[in-house]
Amino acid sequence: MASSSDHKATVIDGKAVAHTIRSEIADEVRQLSQKYGKVPGLAVVIVGHRKDSQSYVSMKRKACAEVGIKSFDIGLPEQVSEAELISKVHELNANPDVHGILVQLPLPKHLNEEKVLGEISLEKDVDGFHPLNIGKLAMKGREPLFLPCTPKGCLELLSRSGISIKGKKAVVVGRSNIVGLPVSLLLLKEDATVTIVHSRTKEPEKIIREADMVLPCSRTSEPSGIKEFFIQGSWIKSGAAVIDVGTNAVDDRTKKSGYRLVGDVDFKEASKVAGWITPVPGGVGPMTVAMLLKNTLDGAKRVIEQ
Ligand code: GUN
């Protein structure tokens, strides 16, 4: 008879799911191009030289090329003024070949992120970070034009894995504007009972142990995340779905880069108890890029097919 230690969670292969979605998108882009002679366009604005931002942006650029989306790359110097950045955003708002605008975050400290994101045309807000899109996500009976990419990718992974959300206890770990907060709102819209665990939460493991699904996303913007919220296998309820959004670089001399990426969860131990689990890398990451392409396609279709 199998003992409980023989249990192995189903590993959700985000890379494979993202690949399927990307080929669906490529088909639709081809059809648009044949029917209307137009392709979707995505503008990616990057300010300064952060290594992590540059690597995200180059991934996004490659993914666009692969599915036939035209990318517009705008690199601005670290010292750019807020007025210049906003004027660039306005120029992209007015460009009919651009259907999606993404301003890579975080911005240098002298730039007001709230002000800049608020200038992106609602119809081109493929990140879904415009206050009106986020506001609609938070409100009952309202639908935003775009959902933020990582949260949308998490829900897509759950649904394509046959995991229902309605009535389930979901615990989100982290409350960032990019992932934690919007994924909580999205789960609530899908009728989960949502709890957010954050840096001031007392006894987080007690709350996480109750969860039917756990979404740890205390990641990059909070460097202390991995120390505070490294989630042990013993914190996971038997059969729970674990969607690990954490991306933490840890030193690894066996790698050419000198580091490797790990999530916020002890994957090996959690796999022994969870029902489903996403790996890092190869789980949520590829889905974020796929959802950005999907949002750009949807934005383009709203304009081109009208
Ligand atoms: N920085 C880290 N993740 C993201 C994202 O999803 N969108 C943008 N614009 N910046 C980011």
Q: Mean of the pLDDT values across residues 172-181?
A: 95
**What span, in angstroms and rounded, lies between the C-alpha atoms of 279 and 23?**
22
> Domains in the chain: how many in total?
2
Residue 200 falls inside a structural domain:
yes
Residues 225 and 262 in one domain: yes
Residue 154 falls inside a structural domain:
yes
Residues 194 and 245 in one domain: yes
Helix (H, G, I), strand (E, B) or coil at 141: coil
Average of per-residue pLDDT values in the chain: 94
Residues 113 and 77 in one domain: yes
pLDDT in tens, 196-245: 999 899 999 999 999 999 999 985 544 444 455 689 999 999 999 999 99
Residues 103 and 55 in one domain: yes
Catalytic positions, written as ranges: 60, 104, 127
Residues 154 and 114 in one domain: no
Residue position matching structure tokens 């199998």: 2
Q: What is the largest CA-CA distance in the chain?
A: 68
Residue 254 falls inside a structural domain:
yes
Query: Would you say residue 4 has pLDDT above 70?
Result: no
Q: Is 46 in the pocket of ligand 1 (CB under 6 A)?
A: no
Instruction: Report the share of the chain in percent with pLDDT over 70.
Output: 95
The pLDDT score that the predictor gives to residue 52 is 86
Q: Is 105 in the pocket of ligand 1 (CB under 6 A)?
A: yes
Residues 168 and 116 in one domain: no
Find the CATH number of the domain harbouring 47. 3.40.50.10860
Residues 196 and 233 in one domain: yes
Query: Would you say residue 289 has pLDDT above 70?
Result: yes
Residue 196 falls inside a structural domain:
yes
Q: At what angle do helices 180-189 and 149-160 cross, to 10 degrees?
A: 50
**What span, in angstroms and rounded, lies between the C-alpha atoms of 305 and 36?**
8
In angstroms, what is the C-alpha Rg of the chain?
A: 20
Query: Which bin fits 3, alpha (ψ -120 to 50), beta or left (φ > 0)?
Result: beta
Ligand 1: centre distance to CA 241 (Å): 24
The pLDDT score that the predictor gives to residue 5 is 59
Find the CATH number of the domain harbouring 268. 3.40.50.720
Residue 173 falls inside a structural domain:
yes
Q: Is 296 in the pocket of ligand 1 (CB under 6 A)?
A: no
Residues 88 and 213 in one domain: no
Split at pLDDT 50, 70, 90, the class of 259 is confident
Domain extent at residue 81:
36-121
Residues 111 and 187 in one domain: no
pLDDT in tens, 45-65: 999 999 889 999 999 999 999
Phi and psi at residue 289, in whole multiples of 5°?
Answer: -65, -40
Instruction: Report the share of the chain in percent with pLDDT over 90.
Output: 88
Residues 192 and 110 in one domain: no
Atom number, ligand 1, closest to the C-alpha of residue 150 = 6
Q: Output the DSSP codes for 274-288.
A: -SEE--SSSSHHHHH
pLDDT in tens, 109-123: 999 999 999 999 999
Q: Is 150 in the pocket of ligand 1 (CB under 6 A)?
A: yes
Query: Would you say residue 156 has pLDDT above 90?
Result: yes
Split at pLDDT 50, 70, 90, the class of 7 is confident
Residues 111 and 159 in one domain: no
